[in-house]
Structure formats: structure tokens, C-alpha cells
Structure 1
Amino acid sequence: MGFLIRLVTSAVALWVATLVVPGVDVGGRSGTGTVLTLLAVALIFGVVNAVLKPVIQVVGCVFYLLTLGLFALVVNALLFLLTDWIARHLDLPFRVEGFWPAFWGALVVAVVTWLISIAVRDR
């Protein structure tokens, strides 16, 4: 059940990012298609973060220390771009148009996910 809550939370956060950040877009032929696309992209984003982020944190720990953690924002943007690349190869209508939309999109996703996780406690 916790997995589904996190998946839906990420999908909602991605939806908010598509509304707020120019250059982050999701398409769909219908409302159901858009929801399924958001769920699929949320799943991809979750897998990318679960697999690559810990490796990047270990390898780049010096950069995290030198930048007082600000390097994490760049890493999140690059992981967001990787999610876009995977979605394109899976023919999902999700697009991120460059580094800065990815940067702001990843930031919005992180903040919205955090806010929702405060409101909905995962047990």
C-alpha cells in the first residue's frame, strides 16, 4: 500500500510540475491517458532515483560537501532529464525541454512530494 501511495504522490507532483514549469509537458489523448502517463513517468522517476541516486551520492560525496548540498539540485535535474530520455524511448508523451526546466521541475516535484508526504503519513 505504501508503494502505491508514493507512486500516486509522485504522479501528482509531476502533474503540478507540468502546470507550473514551462518546458515540462505531459500529453495524452484523454484524461485517463494523461493520468496513466503520469503514473508511468512517476514509476520511471522512482526507479531512476532509487537505483542511481545512492550511487551518485557515494561517488560525488566530495561535491556534496564542497557545495554544502547544492550539488544535489543539479543531480536531481539530471535524473529528471534521464527520466525524460527513458520516457521518450518508451513512447510516453512526457517532455522536458532542457536543463533549466528539468532543474525547476525536479525542485517542484521534490517540494510537492514533501508537502504531500507531510499531509499523508505512510505507515
Structure 2
Amino acid sequence: MRSLFARLLLNTVALWFLTLLYPGVYFRAGAGLLDYLVAGAVWGLANALVRPVLLFLTLPLNLLTLGLFTLVVNGLVLFLVAAVTPLEVTGFGAALVGALVLSLVSLVLSWALRD
């Protein structure tokens, strides 16, 4: 259970850093800690449930582009998360860049916080 809570906090902090680093992704005015936690939870669920299905469905495109289409899938997942949470994305291009930045931030945070 500790790992699930740790992942939730990691996703939430990564989303928060993303909104600080990249102006194309932001939270609506008045968003509080609960909104950040909900967005982090939805991001984690989308990565666990939706992203693998999308990667499987786009496998031929992923093979043709040598894996670069994964960035598009990550952008789609971020766009979907923004549709159901107080997270705002200014467009699909911003979702692509935001997903890339979010992946890098999550990677750095995972390295910094590992056991």
C-alpha cells in the first residue's frame, strides 16, 4: 500500500513540476491540493489502464516509427487526463511537449526517491 501512495505522490509532484516548467499545461484558477491529487491519481490510472491498450492498438505505427509514436500516445493520455480533471492543456502540441516533460520529471523524481 505504501508503494501505491508513493506513486500517487510522485505523479502529483510530477504534474505540479510540469505546470511550473511548461506554460502549455496548467491547472485551472483556484485549483487546490485535492485537485492536484485527483489529477495525479487519474494520470496514474490512465498510465496503468489506457496507455497499454493504446500502445497495443498502435503497435504497427510504433514499429514503423521505431518507437517515436509512443510520444504521441503519451500526449493522447495527457490530453485525456486533462479532459476529466482540472488540468488544462492548450492544444495537442502542448500535450506532446507536456507528456515529454512529464516523463522526464517523473524519471528524475523516481531516481531521486528510490529506495
TM-score by length of 2: 0.90
**In the alignment, is residue 41 of structure 1 matched against residue 16 of structure 2?**
no
Residue correspondence of structure 1 range 22-61 to structure 2 within 5 A: 22-27=23-28, 29=30, 34-61=32-59
SS class of match (1:68): coil
State the identity as a percent. 39
Determine which of 76, 80, 97 is the counterpart of 2:78.
80
**In the alignment, is residue 15 of structure 1 matched against residue 16 of structure 2?**
yes
For residues 62 and 10 of structure 2, the distance between their equivalents in structure 1, rounded to whole angstroms, comes to 27
Query: Structure 1: which 4+ aligned runs deviate by more than 6 Å?
Result: none
Unaligned runs of 5+ in 1: 88-92
For residues 118 and 21 of structure 1, the distance between their equivalents in structure 2, rounded to whole angstroms, comes to 21
RMSD: 1.4
SS class of match (1:95): strand
For 2:8, the aligned partner's letter is: L
Determine which of 111, 119, 122 is the counterpart of 2:112.
119
Query: What do the CA deviations read for 1:52-99 (whole angstroms, capped 9, x no partner)?
Result: 111112221111111111000000001100001111xxxxx3211111
